[in-house]
Amino acid sequence: MKSQEAQRLIKQTFENPFNKTQFIHFINNLLKDEYQEKSFIQTGAHLPDAFSTYIRKMERIGKYEDATGNFIDILMVELKRDHSIEYARTAQRNFIRRYLNGSRGGELKDAAIVAFYTEGSEDWRFSLIKMQYSLEKKKDELTPAKRFSFLVGKNERSHTAQKQLAGLLTMDKVPLLEDIEKAFNIEIVTIEFFDKYKELFLHVSDFFEKQLEKNRELRNELTAKNIDHISFTKKLLGQIVFLYFLQKKGWLGVDKSGKWGEGDKKFLRSLLEKATSAKKNYYTDYLQYLFYEALAEERRNAADPSYYRLLDCKIPFLNGGLFEADYDWENITVKIPNEFFTNENITKEGDTGDGILDVFDRYNFTVKEDEPLEKEVAVDPEMLGKVFEKLLEVKDRKSKGAFYTPREIVHYMCQESLINYLDTALNNEPAAYQKLGTAQTDMFGNKVRKGQLALEAEFGATIKVPKQDLEKFIREGNSAIDNDARVEKAGRETVRYSYHLPESIRTYAADIDKALAGIRVCDPAIGSGAFPVGIMNEIVKAREILTTYLPAKKQKERTAYEFKRHCIQESIYGVDIDHSAIDIAKLRLWLSLVVDEQDLSTVKPLPNLDYKIVWGNSLIGMPEGSFRNAKLEDEIQVLKEELFNETNKPTKDKLREKINKKIRQLLDSAEQFAGYKIDFDFKLFFSEVFHEKKGFDMVIGNPPYVDIKKLPPLEVRYYFKEFKTCQNRINLYSIFIEKGYGLINTNGTLVFINPNSILINESYKKIRALIFDSVSLIIKLPDAIFEKAIVETIILLLSKGSNKDTIQGKYYHNNDSVNFANIVFNLYKRKDWLEDPELRFNIFTDDVNGKIIKKIELNADSLDKYADFSLGITPYDKYQGHSESLIKNRKFHSEKKLTADYVPLISGKNIHRYFITNEIDEYLRYGKWLGAPREKRFFINPKIIVRQIISGTPLRIYAGYSEMPRYFTQIGFSIISKSNNKEELKFILAILNSLLMNFYHGNKFLDLEKILFQKILIGNCKKFPIAKPKTIKPFITLVDKILEAKKSDPAANTSRWEKQIDIMVYHLYNLTYEEAKIIEPELSEAEFEKYKL
């Protein structure tokens, strides 16, 4: 099929109400008529009881096996009228999951292509539902299924469907399940939408920048309010895109006598058409009034507060701040030409119109939140957050945008931290008996635990809900809820229906619900709000599941909207140093509330989040010892509670003024004590958390990765003074870990995604020591999981209430794929890591290599017992008073030896294994004026120079020997003998260049997946284990032969002597032949035996 035919077929199928004949025609073309037409209909009494409330009929039109053996059924599911396409998504997915999992004849299928429709409805859903089997395909009632969907129909655009499905129709071969799944890939939509959004932002931002140059009155007004063209544009686009979700819900343009939900689904376009026909300016004459009057001002004294006379329709009063004007819009004219909203320009893709509404109108917007098992191929609230987060770093067309944490990682971190929180909240004391083996539970299910539960009750222990039960509840509860609701309704288990969730969850449902309602969570670098929104969605989902097991009289008031509003008011806190991030995070939380509002009688105003999501530097607060006024803090807390739900603007302004005045009073007092500027403090702004819980239950997020050398000197000095784990050249994320660890309470959990440098690098020893007892889980992620890998990252989970003997660890290689639902962890003994003086968190080394490492370290002294070390020269350093001009112009460097002060510099290319070459390209004026000149003895004495960059396959250390004066910068470091013994130094040279020591270095200190830009650090080299031979003469003889040969000819082949040294070093450290072969697989036993010491 040709491309134009494919697009025409997609439009005919997906821009109209569901039509069975058209759908079958589409499937025939999609699967090239290769599927088997095996139809049956399931309806009425033949439908499972648990789903009969939602499903009227299921019809199979065929089945298909792809070339790789995946079984796919093609289904049509008619929903009952009261349960529309948009809602009961979990029930729809679980209904198909049950079918795929062998409910009909025991036959297991891999996936289904499904049309979900409601008779008489204009919209329907086209879905791919795929089973998430683990390693082997087997029937399991709790095996989850993931659904990917396009919401299609008369009211939906097929732009995205055309882009993503057309390739399946035009390909020559019959598509594989993998091909079909790629066509439902939401990340493709995210990238495309971001690119379009970025272009709109830059286009409008450029316009405003020019307007501000021309319009002095507007420029003065915005400057006075600290608004620039960038922030103005970001807010404008954010407001418009927010309204796309509102119009999707039918909340805009509702007829005066109509109900919420019956509004114009294309309201913004209709309003633009009105402006055009009236020859008025869309922004000046319509949008400003919509934003800053209709949506922002409460009309409580009007006969119908929801009716807005100027636009002659119902418009909800939103409150919250998004539509509060931050400039004098009534008196200062801001005009944006209508062409910025719609035009006839032809885009590079061939679409007509590149205005704001033109672009947004091409995309489907869904009001449902993204979930791990439910993916809409549309612009959803979660995607919007990611687009905003990427936009934070965009200032011009060269900007690439910030990199955001992928959805699946956010989901996993939120679920894992919530499981950990519930475990410590519910099971916070050790049992007073010997636990029965968990193998029984795993094999036979929860019922076998009754004996253990009785023991727990008898001995008074507080293990209410075992952690494995909590894991099943959080991860698999959605798959069980429809079934368990059916059992609860019947009042008992039957042959057909038994509970899927563990007994402990049902027994302690009220306790679990109370713990979820009482959680306090903070993201200290909130960005777009992905983590707080993610954790909120997990809490809401969990509380919805628990509703089934709670008394019926309580169930009506337990709605997703009420859970979210409670969570936002009581549980969620966030801070960011970027004002735009704060605006975005608030918008995300408001949007999350809006999408779950189902009360069509009234639209509740949004809450004020001024003191929940706060601008500030998380790392700079009131110092310990500064005066804290408990009475004033209590007054602030009361005022904050009043403000949260306040809707009257004058009252809100007064409350904010009172709160800010009291906060400023305390901050000013702290500034006088500390001597530095303070704009934020956790214990002041979030005092209720520390009064009630002595800290947060959870700190979660993706802290910034910033080299501390890139920060202002004054800020750096502050961090080194105030944070006890600061040492050497650390990264800002490490300081965030210390800060976050201090913010959680005694049973709190911290979970961050951060660089893996914390695991083994010397600079992070102090932070490792601080968190050592609380490390619970570490996952080294593959690079491929990110859009563009900049640094290698880990998920780090700390639990203060844990202190277990083992740590869960998982190392993913760079090209591995990750199924977060089925991670098989390795267990690392905490005491093994404790034996390491550097307290390294070594998840890189397997058991076999680990035993060799231990053997190398046995009966050996560290290298720094025999040698002194020095880094190379640092010529320039702004912290030593060097000016930017001096640094930029490299004033101390020269191509010639200008005076006696100038010394020859060698570079990395001079340093080889065993020897140093003499070619000189540059000279350096050596003396105390340098940033760090180092001690002269390290350059003029006999020395080993170790090149910082290691390379080769396998990675090799480059250590060369020289007795001549050799100066160098931080391309390496120098090693000299403490006893000025040349022979001792040559022995060390042999060890450093040996295969065994390279194996030790790689497995002990490096991520061996990384090939480029690996380094040997001076701190690690100091700790190299040096064994004591009976005599070093055999080593010296061979080293001298190598040095002599290389002196005569640097290209001389010395491999036979190097090989002999390698084998002698194996024997020096008492390796067996089998162990040596692990390091050097090609080694023969004859060679190994030949060079015994």
pLDDT one-digit tens code per residue, 298-355: 888 888 999 999 999 999 998 877 898 888 999 988 999 999 999 999 998 888 999 9
pLDDT band of 761, cuts 50, 70, 90: confident
Q: What is the pLDDT of residues 949-993, one digit of tens each?
A: 998 878 899 999 999 999 999 999 999 999 999 999 999 999 999
Share of the chain above pLDDT 70, in %: 91
Q: Taking residues 586-601, what's their average pLDDT? A: 81
pLDDT band of 1, cuts 50, 70, 90: confident
849-1090: CATH architecture:
Alpha-Beta Complex (3.90)
Residue pair 698/421 in contact (Cβ under 8 Å)? The answer is yes
Apex CA 621: angle with CA 620 and CA 627, to 5°? 150
107 is written with which tokens?
Answer: 């036959």
301 is written with which tokens?
Answer: 């004294």
pLDDT at 434: 40
Residue limits of CATH 3.90.220.10 in the chain: 849-1090
Q: Does the pLDDT at position 454 exceed 50? A: no
Amino acid at 304: D
278 is written with which tokens?
Answer: 């009236």
Residue 540: CB atoms within 10 Å: 22
pLDDT at 979: 93
pLDDT at 140: 56
**What is the C-alpha to C-alpha distance for residues 453 and 451, in angstroms, rounded to an integer?**
5
Alpha carbon 503 to its chain's center: 33
pLDDT band of 77, cuts 50, 70, 90: very high
pLDDT at 955: 86
> Beta partners for 968?
none
**What is the C-alpha to C-alpha distance for residues 609 and 588, in angstroms, rounded to an integer?**
11
Q: Taking residues 152-169, what's their average pLDDT? A: 90
**What is the C-alpha to C-alpha distance for residues 1036 and 397, in angstroms, rounded to an integer?**
60
pLDDT at 988: 98
Selected residue with higher pLDDT from 276 and 836: 276
pLDDT band of 85, cuts 50, 70, 90: low
Which class for 868: exposed (0-12), middle (13-18), buried (19 or more C-beta within 10 A)?
middle
DSSP letter, residue 465: S
* CATH 3.30.10.20 applies to domain 407-424+470-620+679-844: no
933 is written with which tokens?
Answer: 């000149």
Q: What is the pLDDT of residues 522-578, one digit of tens each?
A: 999 998 899 999 999 999 999 999 998 888 777 777 888 999 999 999 999 999 998
Residue limits of CATH 3.40.50.150 in the chain: 407-424+470-620+679-844
pTM value? Answer: 0.79
> Angle, nearest 10°, between helix axes 20-30 and 3-14?
150
pLDDT band of 450, cuts 50, 70, 90: very low
Q: Taking residues 478-506, what's their average pLDDT? A: 74
Q: What is the pLDDT of residues 214-267, one digit of tens each?
A: 888 888 988 888 888 888 999 999 999 989 989 998 999 999 999 998 999 999
pLDDT at 156: 87
Q: Does the pLDDT at position 399 exceed 50? A: no
C-alpha distances out from residue 823 to 136, 777, 812, Å? 14, 12, 10
